[in-house]
Amino acid sequence: MNCFFSCKRLRKTGTLPPVFCSAELQSPGNVLPNFLTLIISLCMLPFFSLNLSNLECISEWATLRMELGAKEKNQELYKPYTNGIIAKEPPSSLQQEIQELRGSANSLRSEPEFEMADIFYFCRRGVESIVDDEVTKRFSAQELKSWNLLTRSNYNFRHISLRLTVLWGLGILIRYGVLLPLRVTLAVTGICLLLVLTTLVAFLPNAELRSYLSEKVHLMCYRICVRALTAIITYHNRENKPKNGGICVANHTTPIDVIILANDGCYSLVGQVHGGLMGMVQRAMVKSSSHIWFERSEVKDRHLVAKRLGDHVADKTKQPILVFPEGTCINNTSVMMFKKGSFEIGCTVYPVAIKYDPRFGDAFWNSSKFGMVSYLLRMMSSWAIVCSVWYLPPMNREEGEDAVQFANRVKAAIAAQGGLVDLIWDGGLKRAKVKDVFKEEQQKLYSKVLVGDSEDQMEDKRSEDGTPEGDESSKDPAEGQ
Amino acid sequence: LGGSCANLLLSHSQITRLYSRFTSLDKGENGTLSREDFQRIPELAINPLGDRIINAFFPEGEDQVNFRGFMRTLAHFRPIEDNEKSKNPTASEPLNSRTNKLLFAFRLYDLDRDDKISRDELLQVLRMMVGVNISDEQLGSIADRTIQEADTNGDNSISFNEFIKASFVLTLHTLL
């Protein structure tokens, strides 16, 4: 407790202790006023921005303690990622690897040739993917290098020191006793205001006044919601903000993405009609500004979806549509395949990259593990939600580019900006099985190695452009948005 | 796990890494993996030999594999380190020696465990690897030629020793 203070006070005087918690406990007489100051200052926190450096101080201190503790016990603290069971080599094409296997110099053969040892190639790839694969780890929360005093991110529970446990206990008190109630109050206020005010605005006769007021109302309510989550957002390149008549695409990590983007501008949302509270909010929002809500049955009808999106976009007075082409929540370490539906409409696309800092609270929604309510409670009991939003320059579909290639181009731009891994795997693999088409591609590639390239020169050139995984991007089994 | 660890020659950090991988694959959270848990890995599901590799993890006739079995099978693939060669020569051969790696691959072919790869078994694996892209006759002739080249004792099937000789060209250090 004392440490938290000394950091705050030192911040004000401009100096910072490197490892500050060797400070002695103050005498009991001074504790009470300090405690009160702590409570009062924490009460003010949701209304001013949270002093993040304090939290960073604490995490650094905690990491240092853990490192010292580990050194004392002569244990390894950080799991070395490179020290795996199999030394993984950089990916090369199936043909190349099999040639290496056989040690032959002649790459094109007319006679089918099989070596018993070809099996090792598949064997090795298979076992590598069992030890670590690119896809399944994207559907669970990212592991942190240093502990941020949240139980939920503590994977390797080990008692390091009493001080750390005390600090963790204090953290629990602060988070659940002080921050959570305040945040919940704010959130409830925000949602109520949204419902009431949007309904009120809908009664106004004058259309211009109505749209102006509805913008203001939406922005205000989203700002309250952002405060309720203590989301600290940094917007970059605001000159590229999406304009009317376009589609805004972003990578999807959590439903909170909507609040984060809508905090800075007004968008038309697209989604399924829900029941319950969400349904009420949806109906209220639609009264004062235009959003696109689909019935569950309509979602399957791609033409209907495309038509409604197209109509909305054609009307220049309507706000830009916000779309998440991945279709599902990914854990913010990578960007997965974009569904081509929204890229077929033919209007300007405004890409946005959102990157969360997991140290203060992991924002990823693991929908198989947590429902919406428990997810929101977890969000509101983390330290804070820190993220960066980059608005990328608008993109249009180029000549000779089809929707899939355009989608991949946008995806690559978003991944590059956000520092995320660009994957071609489908986010739908979270729940669905992978399609047999990909297995057949692998088989086809291998049979080319056996039989030779005599007939299929053209096809071969196309498939040789990338790794075996790269071939999957040309087959697009995805459904439209 | 102490004793079996020494046999597997896995370091502490490798074991913790494998354990966290095991738990993340174990969706049912019952301490064992089933075949469906493996099939959930997309890169394994598209591997033509995926099913055979998965089978290698499961002991005879069982449908669940625990962490010890998981580690044991994966330990075959640890890269061979040079400093191990000078270690105790009387100790039993480590799991990831070249011979044991070859035995693992041999067992992928030899389904009925009779220590021989028959023409049928070879054809089965070939069919798995090429799918529908090669005709039966062509595949049959490939299989025949392979057996002809590798079979030295004339019993029209490939024994483990003949398999080792046929794979002689490989440098397993770089591959596995």
pLDDT tens digit string along A19-32?
333 333 334 445 55
The DSSP letter of residue A322 is: E
The reply to whether residue B49 touches residue A119, judged by beta carbons under 8 angstroms, is yes
The reply to whether residue B134 touches residue A112, judged by beta carbons under 8 angstroms, is yes
For residue A335, the model assigns a pLDDT of 92
Q: At what angle do helices A180-202 and A276-288 cross, to 10 degrees?
A: 40
Alpha carbon dihedral A170, A171, A174, A176, in 10-degree steps, equals -110
Cα(B153)–Cα(B146) distance, integer angstroms = 14
Indicate if the pLDDT at residue A116 is higher than 80: no
A351 forms bridges with which residues in the sheet? Answer: A249
Q: Which long-range contacts (CB under 8 A, 24 or more apart) does A92-100 make?
A: A92/A467, A93/A445, A93/A464, A93/A466, A93/A467, A93/A468, A94/A121, A94/A442, A94/A445, A94/A446, A94/A449, A94/A468, A95/A445, A95/A448, A95/A449, A95/A464, A97/A121, A98/A446, A98/A449, A100/B174, A100/B175
Q: Which of A73, A95, A119 to mutate to test the interface with B (most CBs of B within 10 A)?
A: A119
From chain B, pick out residues whose CB is under 8 angstroms from the CB of A79: 13, 16-17, 20
- Provide, rounded to the nearest whole percent, the portion of chain A with pLDDT above 70: 71
- Provide, rounded to the nearest whole percent, the portion of chain B with pLDDT above 90: 0
The reply to whether residue B13 touches residue A86, judged by beta carbons under 8 angstroms, is no
Indicate if the pLDDT at residue A481 is higher than 50: no
Interface subset of B 24-43, CB within 8 angstroms of A: 24-25, 38-43
**For the segment A209-226, what is each residue's pLDDT rounded down to a tens digit?**
888 888 888 889 899 989
Amino acid at A267: Y
The answer to whether A316 and A329 have CB atoms below 8 angstroms apart is no
* Confidence bin at A157 (pLDDT 50/70/90): low
Minimal Cβ distance to A114: which of B39, B146, B163 = B146
Sheet holding A231-236, edge to edge: A231-236, A385-391, A349-357, A247-250, A321-323, A268-272, A292-294
- The tokens 């549509």 sit on which residue? A321
| Averaged pLDDT of chain A | 75
Minimal Cβ distance to B46: which of A114, A136, A439 = A439
Minimal Cβ distance to B43: which of A87, A135, A441 = A135
**For the segment A408-437, what is each residue's pLDDT rounded down to a tens digit?**
999 999 999 999 999 888 888 888 888 888
The answer to whether A385 and A230 have CB atoms below 8 angstroms apart is yes
For residue B96, the model assigns a pLDDT of 60
**For the segment B98-121, what is each residue's pLDDT rounded down to a tens digit?**
777 888 888 888 888 888 888 888
* Confidence bin at A249 (pLDDT 50/70/90): very high
From chain A, pick out residues whose CB is under 8 angstroms from the CB of B17: 79, 83-85
Indicate if the pLDDT at residue A403 is higher than 60: yes
Cα(B102)–Cα(B110) distance, integer angstroms = 12
Which of A367 and B39 is assigned the larger pLDDT? B39
Compute the average pLDDT of residues A302-319. 84
Indicate if the pLDDT at residue A117 is higher than 90: no
Cα(A320)–Cα(A244) distance, integer angstroms = 5
For residue A350, the model assigns a pLDDT of 93
Compute the average pLDDT of residues A130-149. 81
- Has this prediction a pTM greater than 0.80? no
Compute the average pLDDT of residues A221-232. 89
Q: Which of A88, A98, A110, A127 to mutate to test the interface with B (most CBs of B within 10 A)?
A: A127
Using a 10 angstrom Cβ sphere, with 0-12 exposed, 13-18 middle and 19 or more buried, the burial of residue A396 is exposed
For residue A288, the model assigns a pLDDT of 76
Q: How far is B77 from chain A (nearest CA, A)?
A: 6
Which of A119 and A61 is assigned the larger pLDDT? A119
The reply to whether residue B21 touches residue A118, judged by beta carbons under 8 angstroms, is no
Which pair of tokens denotes residue A386? 């820190």
The reply to whether residue A80 touches residue B13, judged by beta carbons under 8 angstroms, is yes
- In this structure, the number of other CB atoms found within 10 A of the CB of residue A458 comes to 8
Q: How far is B85 from chain A (nearest CA, A)?
A: 18
For residue B173, the model assigns a pLDDT of 43
From chain A, pick out residues whose CB is under 8 angstroms from the CB of B5: none
Which pair of tokens denotes residue B142? 């490939």
Minimal Cβ distance to A433: which of B45, B75, B109 = B45
- Provide, rounded to the nearest whole percent, the portion of chain A with pLDDT above 90: 12
- Does B78 lie at the interface with A, CB-CB under 8 angstroms? yes
From chain A, pick out residues whose CB is under 8 angstroms from the CB of B10: 85
The reply to whether residue A86 touches residue B146, judged by beta carbons under 8 angstroms, is no
**DSSP helix/strand/coil, A356:** strand
- Does B146 lie at the interface with A, CB-CB under 8 angstroms? yes
Q: How far is A264 from chain B (nearest CA, A)?
A: 37
From chain B, pick out residues whose CB is under 8 angstroms from the CB of A156: 16
Cα(A401)–Cα(B13) distance, integer angstroms = 48
Which of A40 and B139 is assigned the larger pLDDT? B139
Which pair of tokens denotes residue A155? 């994977």
Cα(A46)–Cα(A229) distance, integer angstroms = 9
The answer to whether A332 and A355 have CB atoms below 8 angstroms apart is yes
Amino acid at A351: P
Compute the average pLDDT of residues A40-57. 57
* Confidence bin at A53 (pLDDT 50/70/90): low
Indicate if the pLDDT at residue A390 is higher than 90: yes
Minimal Cβ distance to B13: which of A76, A120, A434 = A76
The reply to whether residue B10 touches residue A131, judged by beta carbons under 8 angstroms, is no
Nearest CA in chain A to B14: A84
Indicate if the pLDDT at residue A105 is higher than 50: no
Q: Which of B46, B76, B123 to mutate to test the interface with A (most CBs of A within 10 A)?
A: B46
**A31-40, A88-97, A159-168, B73-82, range with the lowest pLDDT:** A31-40
For residue A253, the model assigns a pLDDT of 92
Nearest CA in chain B to A449: B130
Indicate if the pLDDT at residue A475 is higher than 50: no
The answer to whether B109 and B117 have CB atoms below 8 angstroms apart is yes
The reply to whether residue B175 touches residue A101, judged by beta carbons under 8 angstroms, is yes
For residue A80, the model assigns a pLDDT of 46
- Does B132 lie at the interface with A, CB-CB under 8 angstroms? yes
The answer to whether A480 and A340 have CB atoms below 8 angstroms apart is yes
The reply to whether residue A136 touches residue B146, judged by beta carbons under 8 angstroms, is no
The DSSP letter of residue A177 is: I
What length does chain A have?
481
Chunked into runs of 10 residues, chain B (176 residues) has average pLDDT values of 53 84 86 89 89 86 87 78 50 65 83 84 87 86 85 83 73 47
For residue A352, the model assigns a pLDDT of 94
Using a 10 angstrom Cβ sphere, with 0-12 exposed, 13-18 middle and 19 or more buried, the burial of residue A219 is middle
The reply to whether residue A124 touches residue B170, judged by beta carbons under 8 angstroms, is no
Indicate if the pLDDT at residue A315 is higher than 80: yes
Minimal Cβ distance to B131: which of A124, A131, A440 = A440
For residue A394, the model assigns a pLDDT of 93
* Confidence bin at A155 (pLDDT 50/70/90): low
For residue A415, the model assigns a pLDDT of 93
For residue A411, the model assigns a pLDDT of 94
* Confidence bin at A77 (pLDDT 50/70/90): low
- Does B163 lie at the interface with A, CB-CB under 8 angstroms? yes
**A57-61, A90-94, A285-289, A434-438, range with the lowest pLDDT:** A90-94
For residue A13, the model assigns a pLDDT of 39
